[in-house]
Amino acid sequence: MPPTSLLVVGSLAFDTLETPSGHAADELGGSATFFSHSAAWLAPKVRLVGVVGSDFPKRHIAEFEERGIDVSGLQVMPKGKTFRWHGRYGREMNNAETVSVELNVFGKFEPKIPAPFRNSPFVFLANGSPRTQRAVLDQVDRPKFILADTMNLWIETEHAALIDLIRDVDGLILNNAELLQLSGEPNVVAGARWALAQGPKVVVVKKGEHGAMLFTEKEIFALPAYPLERIVDPTGAGDSFAGGFMGHLARAGATTFDEMKRALVYGTVLASFACEDFGLRRLFSLDAGEIEKRAREYCRVFAVDLEGARKPARSNPRRRASPARK
């Protein structure tokens, strides 16, 4: 199967960010933005559907186009304002406190998938209400692979609709706390088993600084995070992770487990770059060579070869003796 198109439906936003590394006001942000700019480093055809207000500068549209991202599904509401979020991170940058949020035009977002986008084989439903995500499913034409993200808000307020949605997707991506909350299970492995039983063939668990895990009915895979000594801004890391993951699958045109393992590497790498500067800045200053270099370095550094070990383990005298005792 040839490299193929990747549709993302989600938010575009302006973020005001306060982290221990500094402040930034009115940074371009939003789930579809981080996702598409990450994925576009890998996938040849990224298609974006979202909504912005009349305050959205044309230069950001040009930035999408420059990266080959098709914005013909971007709704511009002439009388509305773009979604705004103001977040503040504590010292360890694990969680953001929301200082303020203005949903603006995103609060009434009704995704309309342009006819030429409906055949996209790869689809990412960025974090949004399960009803909005369902509206996308109703408009696409049997994609090869649909990945859905979600968050604690929808797990709390739209639990039934969310369970109903994940029954109809191929993959679910979420962070470890969300998985425990959604499943009611006490650990990630049991939570992933629960989620797989609801319908998806794949569950991707994002654990931030602790890496990521991939679960199917028969296989488990895990990777540590790329170790960063200094994180400037973790905003968008999860969507950049998803962008790297889906971007790799779309360029490979395949969803075998081996290709998903590689996709997890690219997710890890894109997420690590996203954290190195505020908003999308680092994703804009990247080059493909840097991505491949970091992916290869990461795989080399975290590979282990047991074969060179020097001594076999010892046997258990009890176990050796036990057959004779019978």
The answer to whether 207 contacts its own copies (rule: CB under 8 A) is: yes
SS3 call for 293: helix
Nearest to its own copies of 168, 258 (CB atom): 258
Token pair 């491949």 is found at 292
Token pair 């990945």 is found at 147
Stretch that binds its own copies, among 7-15, 89-97, 100-108, 167-175 (CB under 8 A): 89-97
CB of 53 to its own copies, least distance (A): 27
DSSP letter assigned to residue 280: T
The answer to whether 209 contacts its own copies (rule: CB under 8 A) is: yes
Q: Cα–Cα–Cα angle for 151, 181, 146, nearest 5°? A: 45
Q: Which long-range contacts (CB under 8 A, 24 or more apart) does 27-32 make?
A: 27/235, 27/278, 27/279, 27/280, 27/281, 28/60, 28/63, 28/279, 28/280, 29/85, 29/235, 29/236, 29/279, 29/280, 30/83, 31/126, 31/127, 31/128, 31/149, 31/236, 31/239, 32/8, 32/126, 32/239
* Subset of residues 14 to 43 that bind its own copies, contact rule: CB under 8 A: 20, 40-42
* Subset of residues 130 to 149 that bind its own copies, contact rule: CB under 8 A: none
Among 97, 156, 168, 258, binds its own copies (CB under 8 A): 258
The answer to whether 98 contacts its own copies (rule: CB under 8 A) is: no
CB of 60 to its own copies, least distance (A): 14
Q: Please give the structure tokens belonging to residue 124.
A: 């990412």
The answer to whether 62 contacts its own copies (rule: CB under 8 A) is: no
* Subset of residues 219 to 238 that bind its own copies, contact rule: CB under 8 A: 219-225, 227-231
* Subset of residues 267 to 296 that bind its own copies, contact rule: CB under 8 A: 284-289, 291-292, 295-296
Stretch that binds its own copies, among 49-57, 147-155, 163-171, 246-254 (CB under 8 A): 246-254
Nearest to its own copies of 86, 261 (CB atom): 261
Binding map of its own copies across residues 150-189, x = CB under 8 A, - = no contact: ------------------------------x-----xxxx
The answer to whether 92 contacts its own copies (rule: CB under 8 A) is: yes
Among 6, 8, 71, 93, binds its own copies (CB under 8 A): 93
- Judged on CB neighbours under 10 Å (0-12, 13-18, 19+), 311 is exposed
- Judged on CB neighbours under 10 Å (0-12, 13-18, 19+), 224 is middle
The answer to whether 323 contacts its own copies (rule: CB under 8 A) is: no
Q: Please give the structure tokens belonging to residue 2.
A: 């040839």
Strand order through the sheet with 96-102:
22-29, 13-19, 83-89, 96-102
C-alpha 278/C-alpha 236 separation (Å) is 10
CB of 31 to its own copies, least distance (A): 22
Stretch that binds its own copies, among 79-87, 142-150, 153-161, 202-210 (CB under 8 A): 202-210
Q: CB of 155 within 8 A of CB of 182?
A: yes
Nearest to its own copies of 114, 253 (CB atom): 253
